[in-house]
């Protein structure tokens, strides 16, 4: 399965895996998209939206972690769906992953173009072209330095989040250049919620709060890959549960705390927040620094956020192209006959250049900024990514529930598994039902009189029929059937796990204990 690539991925050192798992999913959804959440939902609405989605994605991570602890090398959710549900679901989810990459790539580049507008008024299309060429070049020529690049970018993001929260705390307490103690000033005026779409009263507040879910979903998209990164270590059955158990604290520290702090120092009616007006938009963290009169920090913040957008785009292109071709943690679509065989072609260095070129073609979506503002296009692409993420999370919960009830039917005690996730099956059910509701109501604004918008409707719902057609189309052509609960090969995989025990963990002392705490 692509020996060169697998050796490269397995060659990642422990420090690479830990840092990528810790900060790999933190990107423009937090640094840039959170501005729209505050503008639409207010500081409390955004905080609640990010908090609720954080709880729900924790259920997703717990589900995929229990599955991956049993089958750490068999191909993540794409292979789990094939073994525990239906090969047709595996096919549909595989293409959903590819589709997510197709829209995530231009989304990240468009976000980068939005960020660059802080310094330059040059047309966004030029910056999308420049960043796109750099991304393609790095994936075709410099992929072997992926680990070091992502380690550096992840380190920058962690330092930025810590620094931003410290800066926000100082400003709130009156330690900024203006020496004004903000406290909860902006929670009182303009208020904790926003009357969204001009709808007065509690209904407008609720709709504003509900609209923040879309931004939160985009920010958390890809967080399920934390357990996948842990699977690349030498002892995945031990490291996957460790990574899953720590997800809650990562969500609290990196996402919820950051949203809470920025909501204290940026009012929801600030005209520079990311409204869909087509104008240049800025990170709410940059706005906070400028409002406090800190002159140097905004450029530093924007630079790190820019590297975050480029890093996320790099990861998306690498991951989605390898899903087409084949990589160590997921079944290659082309290798399984789920995609044209042409995607199996590689260069002399083992780079699947056809798959990389195919995914790179969708960078062209970013050129919609020629007719609409970069922030508007970023909003459309953000919706597309969010819907793909919702469907992927629902698939994970569905596969896990099939696995869970398969254990029940076959009389398998979950204590026999390498790891038994807590709060199950309730966490999976809660996440599945909630994500289904969010999926169906994601574009609710278009159904309010006077607010119909073709682009919003398409970006909010187009992926639903695509996924249904993929699933039932493959099912009809290949005549696949849903695997009965009694026939799911759970015992077989337990036997494999028991026959291949992992070495005991080495004692951890000194600074390494602190390092592992955060990994």
Residue with tokens 């690479």: 16
For residue 106, the model assigns a pLDDT of 86
Please list, in sequence order, all residues whose beta carbon lies within 8 angstroms of the beta carbon of residue 503, skipping any fewer than 6 positions away.
234, 235
Asked if residues 352 and 321 have their Cβ atoms less than 8 Å apart, the reply is: yes
In the Cβ-directed half-sphere of 362, how many Cα atoms lie within 13 Å? 21
For the chain, the straight-line distance linking the first and the last C-alpha, in angstroms and rounded, comes to 29
Residue with tokens 């991951």: 319
For residue 15, the model assigns a pLDDT of 62
* Angle value at C-alpha 395, between 52 and 33, nearest 5 degrees: 40
Could you tell me the pTM of the whole model? 0.87
Q: Before 425, cis peptide (omega within 30)? A: yes
Residue 271 CB coordination number (10 Å): 9
For residue 304, the model assigns a pLDDT of 83
Closest CA to 470 of 176, 195, 96: 96
DSSP label of 327: B
Cα–Cα distance between 411 and 358 in angstroms, integer?
Answer: 46
Q: How far is CA 77 from the centre of its chain?
A: 15
Cα–Cα distance between 499 and 220 in angstroms, integer?
Answer: 36
For residue 519, the model assigns a pLDDT of 44
pLDDT along the chain (519 residues), means of 10: 38 58 70 83 92 92 86 70 91 90 85 79 83 84 69 83 88 83 88 88 91 89 69 67 76 86 88 54 76 80 82 80 65 78 82 88 82 68 88 95 94 88 93 96 88 86 94 93 91 84 61 44
Residue with tokens 């959170």: 34
Distances (CA, A) of 75 to 136, 328, 335: 25, 7, 12
H and E: helices and strands count for the chain: 23, 0
For residue 5, the model assigns a pLDDT of 36
Asked if residues 502 and 419 have their Cβ atoms less than 8 Å apart, the reply is: no
Strand, coil or helix: what is 266?
Answer: coil
Distances (CA, A) of 406 to 55, 86, 425, 489, 491: 25, 14, 12, 9, 10
Strand, coil or helix: what is 247?
Answer: helix
Q: Domains (ranges, CATH) in the chain?
A: 14-498 (1.20.1740.10)
Cα–Cα distance between 272 and 99 in angstroms, integer?
Answer: 32
Helix, strand and coil in the chain, % to nearest 5? 70, 0, 30
Distances (CA, A) of 278 to 114, 218, 299, 377, 516: 10, 20, 22, 8, 44
Closest CA to 63 of 505, 502, 516, 435: 435
What are the structure tokens assigned to 508, written together? 């951890």
For residue 168, the model assigns a pLDDT of 87
DSSP label of 366: G
Asked if residues 113 and 128 have their Cβ atoms less than 8 Å apart, the reply is: yes
Residue 501 CB coordination number (10 Å): 9
What are the structure tokens assigned to 273, written together? 């927040």
For residue 449, the model assigns a pLDDT of 82
For residue 213, the model assigns a pLDDT of 92
């Amino acid at each position: 399965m692509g020996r060169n690539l697998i050796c490269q991925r397995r060659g990642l050192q422990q420090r690479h895996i830990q840092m990528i798992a810790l900060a790999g999913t933190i990107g423009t959804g937090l640094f840039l998209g959170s501005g729209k959440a505050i503008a639409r939902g207010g500081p409390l609405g955004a905080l609640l939206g990010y908090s609720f989605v954080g709880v729900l994605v924790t259920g997703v991570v717990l589900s995929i972690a229990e599955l991956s602890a049993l089958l750490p090398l068999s191909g993540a959710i794409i292979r789990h769906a094939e073994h525990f549900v239906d090969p047709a679901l595996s096919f549909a989810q595989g293409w959903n992953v590819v589709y997510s990459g197709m829209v995530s790539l231009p989304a990240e580049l468009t976000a980068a173009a939005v960020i660059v507008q802080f310094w330059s008024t040059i047309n966004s299309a030029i910056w999308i072209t420049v960043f796109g060429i750099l991304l393609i070049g790095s994936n075709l020529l410099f992929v072997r330095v992926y680990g070091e690049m992502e380690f550096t970018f992840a380190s920058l993001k962690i330092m930025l989040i810590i620094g931003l929260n410290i800066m926000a705390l100082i400003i709130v307490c009156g330690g900024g250049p203006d020496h004004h103690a903000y406290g909860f000033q902006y929670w009182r005026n303009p208020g904790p919620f926003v009357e969204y779409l001009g709808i007065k009263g509690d209904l407008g507040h609720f709709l504003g709060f509900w609209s923040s879910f879309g931004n939160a979903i985009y920010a958390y998209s890809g967080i399920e890959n934390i357990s996948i990164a842990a699977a690349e270590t030498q002892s995945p059955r031990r490291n996957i549960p460790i990574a899953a158990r720590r997800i809650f604290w990562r969500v609290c520290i990196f996402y919820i705390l950051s949203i809470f702090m920025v909501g204290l120092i940026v009012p929801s009616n600030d005209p520079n927040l990311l409204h869909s007006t087509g104008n240049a938009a800025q990170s709410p963290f940059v706005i906070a620094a400028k409002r406090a009169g800190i002159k140097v920090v905004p450029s530093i913040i924007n630079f790190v956020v820019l590297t975050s957008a480029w890093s996320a785009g790099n990861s998306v292109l690498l991951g989605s192209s390898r899903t087409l071709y084949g990589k160590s943690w997921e079944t290659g679509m082309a290798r399984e006959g789920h995609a044209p065989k042409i995607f199996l072609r590689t260069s002399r260095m083992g780079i699947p250049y056809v798959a990389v070129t195919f995914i790179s073609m969708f960078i062209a979506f970013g050129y919609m900024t020629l007719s609409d503002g970069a922030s508007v296009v970023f909003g459309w692409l953000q919706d597309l990514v969010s819907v793909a993420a919702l469907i992927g999370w629902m698939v994970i919960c569905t596969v896990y529930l099939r696995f869970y009830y398969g254990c029940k039917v076959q009389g398998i005690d979950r204590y026999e598994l390498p790891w038994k996730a807590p709060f199950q099956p309730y966490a999976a059910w809660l996440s599945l039902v909630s994500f289904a509701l969010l999926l169906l109501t994601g574009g609710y604004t278009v159904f309010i009189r006077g607010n119909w918008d073709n682009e919003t409707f398409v970006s909010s719902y187009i992926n639903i029929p695509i996924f249904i057609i993929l699933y039932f189309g493959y099912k009809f052509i290949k005549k696949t059937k849903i695997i009965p609960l009694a026939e799911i090969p759970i015992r077989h995989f337990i036997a494999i796990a028991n026959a291949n025990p992992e070495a005991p963990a080495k004692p951890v002392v000194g600074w390494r204990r602190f390092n592992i705490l955060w990994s």
